[in-house]
Chain A
Amino acid sequence: DAGVTQSPTHLIKTRGQQVTLRCSPKSGHDTVSWYQQALGQGPQFIFQYYEEEERQRGNFPDRFSGHQFPNYSSELNVNALLLGDSALYLCASSLVRASNTGELFFGEGSRLTVL
């Protein structure tokens, strides 16, 4: 049973560029959430996708956008990169019917460095 997979694992970009991160949820899961974890901090919620729509959004600017595909996989896009966007980006999957009480399953993350 494959868990949550993310790609790429590491990437380096320069300020002003755009990046796309990808996530495949755990088998059987239908909901994908994205978190940003800055160095030395706890993860911060970016947004969540279900049925190919954004259900909830955290306190992140519109430069952060996402998409969910019919197979439940998801992408996170960040435009006009800033130095402060350097972080570990975590994808987590879950079942919408267990949203309140079910745990999130996290991927290994994509480490983004902005120079």
Chain B
Amino acid sequence: AQSVAQPEDQVNVAEGNPLTVKCTYSVSGNPYLFWYVQYPNRGLQFLLKYITGDNLVKGSYGFEAEFNKSQTSFHLKKPSALVSDSALYFCAVRDEISGNTGKLIFGQGTTLQVKP
């Protein structure tokens, strides 16, 4: 069965330092991977996606993610964290069983706390 795992409930980083939010996935075919961010009491905002091509994907707000097929990982990164990056981050994979219906399978989420 397809799944997404975010092994860290919370990541703490100082402002200006690089950040990494981890995600691993399990699919039988080619993965379509996504990162979303959720601010308190708000909906989800799209950050970036990997469909095919370069393993390093650049997205919104200076975020990027590295696709690693051998490690089945899709970690979210940013070279220099901002306090305003503090939020809940979700990794998701497109459900391949349902075909092209667009169903996403989400991880449990990782809270990013950036301290001044």
Contact = CB atoms under 8 A, between A and B. Distances in A.
A101 B32 contact: yes
Interface string A8-39: 00000000000000000000000101000000
B44 A90 contact: yes
Interface in B58-116: 90, 92, 94-95, 98, 100-109
Interface residues of B, number: 26
Contacts, number: 67
Interface string B43-61: 1111001010000000000
Contact of A107 (B34, B43, B107, B109): B43
B43 A104 contact: no
B46 A41 contact: no
Give the interface size bracket for A toward B: 20 to 34
Nearest to A43: B106
A33 B94 CA distance: 13
- Which of A6, A31, A45, A90 is packed against the most chain B CB atoms within 10 Å? A45
B94 A100 contact: yes
Contacts of B108: 40-42
B101 A42 contact: no
Interface string A77-115: 000000000000010101010011111111111010000
A100 B32 contact: yes
A11 to B, nearest CB: 14
B2 to A, nearest CB: 12
Interface in A43-69: 43-45, 48, 55-56, 58
Contact of A55 (B46, B101, B105): B101
Contacts of B106: 42-44
8 tightest Cβ-Cβ pairs between the two chains A and B = A42-B106, A99-B102, A56-B101, A106-B43, A99-B100, A106-B44, A103-B46, A108-B43
6 contacts: A31-B102, A40-B109, A44-B106, A100-B102, A104-B44, A104-B102
Interface of A: 4, 6, 31, 33, 40-45, 48, 55-56, 58, 90, 92, 94, 96, 99-109, 111
